[in-house]
Structure 1
C-alpha cells in the first residue's frame, strides 16, 4: 500500500482537508488559551479561587444565554460559513487585546472577564453554524471517519497545546502567549474562506420555529437521557476544571511547564482513543461505547484529588489520570456525536443543537461558579472529590435509556419530529456510521 493510499479518504478530498486543517490549528490554539488565560489570572493578577470561578463563569455563560437563539437564527441563514469566518476574525481581535493591555500595564481581571465572555459568544455562534457545515461536507456513511479525524485533531491539540502553552507562558508570560491563540483563529478563517460546500437550504420561518428544536429534543427518550448525563458531567467537570490549574500550581506545587507536560502526556491517550474508537463502536455497539466512554472519562479523574506524597508520585498519578480520561472522552465524543448526527433532521439541526447546548452547556457556568464558591468554602481538594465522584455517577442517567441498548446508529430521519415513529432500537444495521459532544476539552 502506497503512502497516498494510507491517507484517510476524506483527507484526500480538498474541501474537507481544508476544513479539517482549520479545525486542527484552531483547536491547538484553544489549548494555549486554556492554560494561558487562567495562568494570566493567577500569576499576573493574583486571582483567588472565587475570582477563578467568576472567570470560568464568564467564559461559559454564553452557552447558556445564546445557543438557543443562535441555533434558531442559523437555521434561517443560507451562508453559515461566512458567519463562521467573521466569528474567527472577531475572536482573534478580542484575544489580541489582552497582550496589548498587558504591554501597556492596564490589564485587569475585568478585561479578562469581558474578553472571556465575548469570545464565548463568538464561539457559540461558530459552533451552531459548524454543525450544519459538517453535514454539508461529509456524507452520512463517513460520519465515523470524519468524527475520528476531528477528534484526533483535538487529541493532537491536547498533546501539543499544553506543552507549547507551558513553554510560551514561561518564556513570554501568560498574556503574550495568547498571541498564538489569536493567530490560530486567523488560520481557521483563511481555511474556511477557501471552501464552498453546498449548505442545506435555510429553514422557513413558521410558528414555533424558535422552540422546535427544544420540543424535538425533549420528545426523544434517548436524547433526554443523553442530555441529563452529559449535563451532569458538564456541571461536575467544570467544577473540576475551574480549580485544576490553581490546585496543581498551589496545593501540589507544580510549575506551568510541568503542568503542560502532564497534560501533553495525558493527551497521548486521546490520540489512542481517537484511533481505536471507531473499531470499538463497531465491535461493541454505540450504546455500550457510550456507557464505556462515560465511565472511562470519569473514573480516572479520581486520581487527581488522591494525588499526594513525593513529587514524582504526584506527577505520575496526574499523568495516568489524564491519559486514561482522554481515552474515555474520545470514545464518548465519537459515539455520542455520531449518534446525534445520524438522529437529528437537517431541517432543524441548528435549533436542536442550539437547544442541546443551551441545556447541556448551560451547566458549565453553574459548575464553574459552584467550583469557585466551594473551593473557597471547603478547600480545593475536598471540592475536587465532589466534582470527580459526581462525574462518575453521571452514567446512571444513560443506563435505563434505549441508547444504552443500541448496537447500530439510528436510521437518518425523514421527518423533523421523532415521536410518531418508534424510537430506534438495538437491531443490526449495515449502513451505520457515528460524532461528539466533547465534555472534556474544548467543545462541542
Structure 2
C-alpha cells in the first residue's frame, strides 16, 4: 500500500460533509432506506472487488503466461499509472464542466471493453505483451476520470446532512475490497487461470455501469460563463501547495516515499511468483492479511494521536513505514520465513499508511481555503502519484541490470532517506499541527 492510498475519498467532499452535517443532521442509518444510493453503492461495491482482482490478475498473467521480463513488468506498472502524470492536473477541471455520473458510466464501459480484450486475445492465441500495455494504459486513463467523478458525485445524490454517512459507507466498502479482494483474486486465478479471472471481473464493471444508469442525481452542469482558464486555476493550486512550509514537507516525503515504494512493488509479482516460488493464491493471501493493518490503523489512529500529538505522528509513522520496507528484501535472505515476514511487512505498511494519511489529510483540509480544496488535492495527487510511472520504468531497468533483490534493497534505502523530509522538519517541536491562520507563519 502506497502513502497515497488512503486518499480514496475526496478531502473537499469530506470537509463539506462535516460542516453540513452539523447544521442538517439526519437519523443514523437513514441511507439504508434510500434506494437510489443503495443502487449506486451496490454497483460500486462490485466494481471495487473487480478492481482488486484485476490488479492481481494482470501481473500474474504477464509473469506466468507471457513470461514477462523485469523491464516489461516495469513498463506494465508505468502504463497503469501514467494517466496520473499525463492528465492528473487538468482532469478535475474538465470533469467540473461535465455531468459526473455520465463520465462514470462512460469510464466503466471503456474499462469493461478494454479488459475483455485480454482473455479474448489469449483464447485466440494472439495475446502479446504490447496488448497488455495498451489495456493497462486505457484502464488507467478511464480510472482517473472515474475516480475524480466518483469523489465528487455524492453531494448530488444525497441530502447535505447525509454526505458524511454516504462517504463512510463507500469507504468501508473500499477497505473491505482491499482485504477480501486479493484473496478472492488469488483463489479465482488458481481455479479459473488468470485470463478467465480477468473475464469474470469484466462483469463487475458492467454491474457498476448498470447501477449508475439506474441511479438518479440532481447535478446541473456549470454554465460556460463560470469557467475560468484551466491553466490559471491549476497554477493557483500548485502555488498554494508549494508555498505552505509544512505542506511542502509532507508532499516532498509522500512523493519520494511513493517513488521508492513503487520501485519495490513493481517487481513484487516476479519476486513472489518466481524468486520465492509462491502461488497466486498465497500472493493474494499476503495482501489480504496485510490489508487488515489498515482497519487496525484506522481504529488506533485517534488513540495514538491523543498520546503523542498529531504533529509527531507524521515523522513517527514515516519512520515506521520506511523501516518496515526493509522486510521485503530480508524475506529473500530467509526463504523459510518469507511468508510471515511478507505478511508482517504488508500489515505494517497498511497500519502506518493509515496513521500517516489520516493525520496529514486532516491537516491539509484544515489549512486550505474551501475554494482551493479541489485544486490543492489535484496538485498533491499530481506530484505524489505522478512519480509512480517514472519509478516503475526505473524499477524494470534496475531489475534487468542488477536483479530483483538488489532493487528491493535500493528501494528500502531510498524510503529511509525519504523520511528526512519530515524527520528534519519542525514536527517534533510541536504537538498539534497549525490551523489555517498560523500554518504559513
Alignment of 1:119-138 (within 5 A): 119-133=139-153
**How far apart are the structure 2 equivalents of 1:204 and 1:380?**
48
Q: Alpha-carbon deviation of 1:356?
A: 2.1
Between the aligned partners of 2:221 and 2:416, the Cα distance in structure 1 is: 38
SS for the counterpart of 1:398 is helix
**Structure 2 matches for 1:19-418, cutoff 5 A?**
21-75=42-96, 77=97, 79-133=99-153, 150-193=170-213, 194=215, 196=217, 204-206=227-229, 208-281=232-305, 284-308=308-332, 311-401=335-425, 405=430, 407=432, 410=435
Q: Cα deviation per residue 1:288-331 (whole Å; 9 max; x = unaligned)?
A: 33334333433222111101466541111111111221111222
Shift of residue 22, structure 1, vs aligned partner: 4.6
Structure 1 CA distance for aligned equivalents of residues 78 and 150 of structure 2: 23
Change (3 A) 1:394 1:112: same
Deviations 1:344-389 (A, max 9, x none): 4454444333322222211101111111111111111111011123
Q: Note the C-alpha offset of 1:10.
A: 7.9
What is the CA-CA distance between 1:200 and the residue it aligns to?
Answer: 9.7
Name stretches of at least 5 consecutive residues in structure 1 with no aligned partner: 1-6, 412-420, 426-444
Q: In structure 2, the residue corresponding to 1:46 is in which secondary structure?
A: coil
Classify the secondary structure of the residue corresponding to 2:395.
Answer: helix
Q: How many correspondences in the alignment?
A: 409
Query: Cα distance, 1:283 vs. partner?
Result: 5.4
Q: Deviations over 1:121-176 (max 9, x none)?
A: 11112233334335767999999887765554343223211111111112222122
Give the superposed CA RMSD.
3.3
Structure 2 CA distance for aligned equivalents of residues 295 and 199 of structure 1: 46
Tell me how far apart the structure 1 counterparts of residues 275 and 143 of structure 2 sit (CA, whole Å).
Answer: 32
Partner-residue secondary structure (3-state), 1:208 = helix
How far does residue 104 in structure 1 lie from its aligned partner after superposition?
A: 1.6
Give the 3 Å change call, closer, same or farther, for CA 103–388 of structure 1 in structure 2: same
Give the 3 Å change call, closer, same or farther, for CA 192–211 of structure 1 in structure 2.
Answer: farther
**Aligned partners of 1:162 and 1:263 also within 8 Å:** yes
Gaps spanning 5+ residues in structure 2: where?
1-26
CA distance in structure 2 between the aligned counterparts of 1:142 and 1:23, rounded to whole angstroms = 18
Deviation string for 1:62-97 (max 9, x for gaps)?
Answer: 11110112122223x252232123212211211111
- How far is 1:113 from its partner? 0.4
* Cα contact 1:54–1:369 (8 A) shared by 2: yes
Is the Cα–Cα contact under 8 Å of residues 395 and 407 in structure 2 kept in the other structure?
yes
**How much has 1:187 moved relative to structure 2?**
3.4
Query: Normalising by structure 2, what TM-score?
Result: 0.81
